[in-house]
Structure 1
Amino acid sequence: MHYWTYGDGGWLGGLFMLIAIVLFLGGLIAVGIVLLRRFGQPPSRRSDALKILDERFARGEIDKEEYEQRRATLGD
């Protein structure tokens, strides 16, 4: 019975293994980049601005009309 070994493939087997390793590592790197972009981003500045605006309205520093106007501006 013949078992497949690295030496039996010659240069073609070695080339196939090299391509497979490069594709595998490239896939791992791509998955890592996607995960970092998806879950590693800091909160946007817009959400920080809306939070500050909500706090100012809750403290009574601005009235409802000004609050709605600024919120509409930040929403665009």
Structure 2
Amino acid sequence: MMYWWDDHMSGWGYALMAFSSIVFWALLIVALVMGVRAVRHTRSGPSPADRPTPEQLLAERYARGEIDDDEYRHRLGTLTGGTRADSHR
């Protein structure tokens, strides 16, 4: 009678198969999460840290000549709580 002991996977084969399956699914999930984050980041626009402050916007308007010196100082004083507007008068 002949025994067929060598035609099946050993314990190491099952362990390797289980480990490789876990690694495959983990990599797939990580890739999906990173892809979703990348798409959300590109659609959300600039972050709040990238937006100019009100003082920067006012300085840009002054630099373009949209407002004069007195109006710039008045509005800057309003934005900063009156400290700069009072010091220039």
Relative to the length of structure 1, the TM-score reads: 0.48
| Higher relative contact order, structure no. (Cα contacts within 8 Å, ≥ 6 residues apart) | 1
Relative to the length of structure 2, the TM-score reads: 0.43
Larger Rg: 2
